[in-house]
Chain A
Amino acid sequence: MKILVVDDEKDVQTLFEQRFRKEIKAGELQFDFAFSGEDALVYLNQHEQEAVLILSDINMPGMSGLELLEQIKKKYHKPPPVVMMITAYGDAENYNTAKQLGADDFLTKPVDFSSLKEKLKDIN
């Protein structure tokens, strides 16, 4: 399963690679990283239907995670991939907006990776 992680903080890549190193080694999961909403769209256009799951931050310079979510769900991909939002803002407003735009899940920072792993298993 190919997962695209979108976040403006580059340390996220290291974190995910280390957190899922076993799964990566085992070939269960593949990770790609985009450091802005714009990059993510470019990636998705280039690798159509490759990424099954998208994990995106919301607060990013430029295109925000919510804008990206909207683009993905409405315009680009059929069938659309599963999109999970990961944000430091766990407030109701943010959550509702994300759900309205079609987010499949909503995670808050700090990310609980064991629960994330459980969710990925369900998708698989």
Chain B
Amino acid sequence: MRNKFFLFFFFMAVCCSVRSQENIVEQIQLRCDSILNLLVKEQDEDKKADLITSFYGTAIDGYPQQLLSLSHKLLAIAKQNNDIYAESAAISAAGQAYRLTGNYVKALELHRKAVALAEESGNKILIGFGLNQMAHIYKDRLENDKALKLYREAYQNFEKAGRNDIWYACMNIGVVYYNMGNYDSSLYYSTEAVNRINNTPGVGNQSSVFANIASIYSQKNVPDSIQKYFTLALDLANSTKSPRYMNTTYVAIAEHFSRIQQYDSSAYYYKNAVNIVSGTEMNNLVLKPAKKLTEYYQNINADSTVKYWKVYSAANDSLYSIRTNQQIQMLTFEEDQRKRDIEAAQVAYQNKIRTGLLLGGLAVFSIVAIILYRNNRQKQKANSKLEKTLVELKQTQSQLIQSEKMASLGELTAGIAHEIQNPLNFINNFSEVNAELIEEMKEELEAGKSKEAVNLANDIKENNIKITHHGKRADSIVKGMLQHSRSSSGQKEPTDINALADECMRLSYHGFRAKDKSFNTITETNFDSSIPKISLLPQDIGRVILNLFTNAFYSVAQKKKVLGDVYNPTVTVRTSRTAKGVAISIRDNGNGVPQKVLDKIFQPFFTTKPTGEGTGLGLSMSYDIITKGHGGELKVETKEGEYAEFIIILPL
């Protein structure tokens, strides 16, 4: 009964098939063309991917030639619109066409390209579909693990996209599990595929999923379900008129009959499977049924045995070498691909490192450049600041030099006042005395006491000499003061160095005492009277000597404060002729100069005096005046705590 039902169905199918296969192919092409038109206009990426998978809803992959033709059209669109979606779809379609005709090497190569493009697009549907199509090759070759792995990846991509396209992956996973003998898993995925299709009307070519479910039930021996699903499969295969789908379904039915040992029926479906693909480009599909038929007729009918053996061997011969080669080529291709992947990974890794290094170098270079730039900027800033500061410093220095002059002048003023009062005391009083003496002399003369008159005249004369002397003394003090306050005339003039030194000592001493009343020191002079007049700037040299005396007095005064009565402060000035010229030495028995500051004392602004008491310019100015102004030397000899001796040497 079951046989009859199938037979009837088959006849119907064959009749329809013969009559309308051409129409159906035409319809498929029309439908594909309309999808192509939509694809050209479509901008949304997911919708594009949907359109691409919908080509396969037309059952076009039952017709390898049509697939190739579709591939060419897609490729044209891709080139025209620079459309990566269309390009991936085109190459995938071509890959499917080559797979269907048994050229797995070419197919694999194309699918890899299609997947790569899909990945470039980043669209999950497109990637899932590309992987799904590539997996078919391994499914066909019963390389189940590889097939399963790829289908699962496809499944995951579809899942992420949240599309019903996942049914393709489910169906195929179901087939692979069937091939592996895992019927429960196969049933699960196949059922899942069916459920998905039910939710999506208009998606065709599901005959193989129903054939697979029927085969599972055949294995599990569930007769009602077997019949139901084979009927569905046959119905759908018929509707597509595709020799491929029909062949697949016939083979599944034949295997079922063989399983339940109804060999006649089995042979019948095997024959149909052979006939439907004979003369098509899918000649490889005759191998399995032809071989089974040869086995079937072996003990029944010699003619038929021979006939199917010939069919089998013809197909096998044409395919054998191809298959063998393919096996080698597949392995080679895969190995090459693997190497290429590794190389690509290596290149990518190297590029990454190179890029990393380059970026690192660039970063370092940038940092260095920035640092250099900043340094430069800062230097420029610092330079302009320095220049400004230098100008300000020069101004300040000249102000300080002036204030140093004024300060020392101030110190001297009181001393000078005293120095003038003293000679004035004599001048005033001696002149008054003289007036009196002259009166007395007149009286003596009138009285005729000429001897007394002469004595008085002598007194008057001596007094007058004193008056003149003290007058000159006052004069030189005033001149000295004026000289000190005046700026240097720049004119060197012959100068008595002994007189200059003596005057400076007195000025300085009294100036110092004017500030410090309790101060007292022994001053000693030791002048070499044979020294001739030296050409020098009297104000400048005078300032130097004054400064050295002031320092000397300061030093002994400090020591006196500490030591008290047991200490006799002494300042000595000595002039002498030396090989180099004239030496003026000013020596004090004060605290001396500490060794650690000895090399600093001639530096500007260096002072050991408390803040406010010294400008720190005295010695540096002195040094400049002697060395630069007069080509001489200013030296110091000292022993800390015992003495300090400053020696000016001026060339003759």
- Name A's B-contacting residues (CB within 8 A): 9, 11, 14-15, 18-19, 58-64, 66-67, 88-89, 93-94, 97, 108-111, 113
Q: Are A88 and B521 in contact (CB under 8 A)?
A: no
CB distance from B520 to the nearest CB of A (A): 6
Q: Are B422 and A15 in contact (CB under 8 A)?
A: no
Q: Are B428 and A94 in contact (CB under 8 A)?
A: no
CB distance from B571 to the nearest CB of A (A): 10
Q: Are B422 and A9 in contact (CB under 8 A)?
A: yes
Q: Are B517 and A66 in contact (CB under 8 A)?
A: yes
Q: Are A18 and B459 in contact (CB under 8 A)?
A: yes
**B326 interface contact, C-beta 8 A:** no
Interface hub of B418, B422, B510, B513 (most chain A Cβ within 10 A) = B422
Stretch at the interface among B122-130, B430-438, B631-639: B430-438
Q: Are B425 and A62 in contact (CB under 8 A)?
A: no
Cα(A89)–Cα(B417), bound, Å: 8
Cα(A59)–Cα(B421), bound, Å: 12
With A62-B522, A64-B518, A113-B429 already in contact, the answer to whether A18 and B418 are too (CB < 8 A) is no
Cα(A18)–Cα(B427), bound, Å: 13
- Name B's A-contacting residues (CB within 8 A): 414, 417-418, 421-422, 424-430, 432-433, 437, 459, 462-463, 466, 470, 510, 513-514, 517-518, 520-523
* 6 cross-chain pairs, A with B, having the tightest CB-CB distances, nearest first: A88-B421, A110-B425, A88-B418, A109-B425, A109-B421, A110-B428
Choose from A64, A89, A93, A108 the contact partner of B520 (Cβ within 8 Å). Answer: A64
Cα(A60)–Cα(B430), bound, Å: 22
Q: Are B522 and A110 in contact (CB under 8 A)?
A: no
- Given A110-B424, A110-B425: 13 more A-B contacts, CB < 8 Å: A9-B422, A9-B426, A14-B466, A19-B429, A60-B520, A63-B520, A67-B518, A89-B414, A89-B418, A89-B514, A93-B517, A97-B517, A113-B429
Chain A-chain B contacts (Cβ-Cβ < 8 Å), number? 66
Cα(A89)–Cα(B420), bound, Å: 11
Q: Are A11 and B466 in contact (CB under 8 A)?
A: yes
6 contacts between A and B (CB under 8 A): A18-B437, A58-B517, A66-B517, A67-B520, A88-B421, A97-B517
A58 (CB) vs chain B CBs: closest residue:
B517
Q: Across the interface, which residues of A come within 8 angstroms of B429, CB to CB? A: 15, 19, 110-111, 113
A9 (CB) vs chain B CBs: closest residue:
B422
Cα(A108)–Cα(B424), bound, Å: 12
Interface hub of A58, A97, A109 (most chain B Cβ within 10 A) = A109
Q: Are B523 and A111 in contact (CB under 8 A)?
A: no
Interface hub of A11, A67, A93 (most chain B Cβ within 10 A) = A11
Q: Across the interface, which residues of A come within 8 angstroms of B520, CB to CB? A: 60-64, 67
Cα(A67)–Cα(B560), bound, Å: 15
With A18-B463, A88-B421 already in contact, the answer to whether A11 and B522 are too (CB < 8 A) is no
Cα(A9)–Cα(B459), bound, Å: 19
With A59-B513, A61-B523 already in contact, the answer to whether A15 and B430 are too (CB < 8 A) is yes
Q: Across the interface, which residues of B come within 8 angstroms of A64, CB to CB? A: 517-518, 520
B428 (CB) vs chain A CBs: closest residue:
A110
Cα(A109)–Cα(B513), bound, Å: 17
Choose from B424, B432, B466, B518 the contact partner of A109 (Cβ within 8 Å). Answer: B424
CB distance from B107 to the nearest CB of A (A): 122
Q: Are B510 and A61 in contact (CB under 8 A)?
A: no
CB distance from A66 to the nearest CB of B (A): 7
Choose from A62, A63, A94, A113 the contact partner of B432 (Cβ within 8 Å). Answer: A113
Q: Are B521 and A61 in contact (CB under 8 A)?
A: yes
Choose from A18, A58, A93, A109 the contact partner of B433 (Cβ within 8 Å). Answer: A18
Interface hub of A9, A61, A110 (most chain B Cβ within 10 A) = A110
CB distance from A105 to the nearest CB of B (A): 17
Q: Across the interface, which residues of B come within 8 angstroms of A66, CB to CB? A: 517-518
Q: Are B518 and A88 in contact (CB under 8 A)?
A: no
B462 (CB) vs chain A CBs: closest residue:
A14
CB distance from A56 to the nearest CB of B (A): 14
Q: Across the interface, which residues of A come within 8 angstroms of B428, CB to CB? A: 110
Q: Across the interface, which residues of A come within 8 angstroms of B414, CB to CB? A: 89
Q: Across the interface, which residues of A come within 8 angstroms of B437, CB to CB? A: 18
Cα(A88)–Cα(B523), bound, Å: 20
CB distance from B443 to the nearest CB of A (A): 13
B469 (CB) vs chain A CBs: closest residue:
A11
Interface hub of A19, A60, A61, A88 (most chain B Cβ within 10 A) = A88
Cα(A67)–Cα(B433), bound, Å: 32
Q: Across the interface, which residues of B come within 8 angstroms of A59, CB to CB? A: 418, 510, 513
With A11-B426, A14-B466, A113-B429 already in contact, the answer to whether A61 and B459 are too (CB < 8 A) is no
Cα(A89)–Cα(B422), bound, Å: 10
Q: Across the interface, which residues of A come within 8 angstroms of B518, CB to CB? A: 64, 66-67
Q: Across the interface, which residues of B come within 8 angstroms of A89, CB to CB? A: 414, 418, 514, 517
Q: Are A94 and B517 in contact (CB under 8 A)?
A: yes
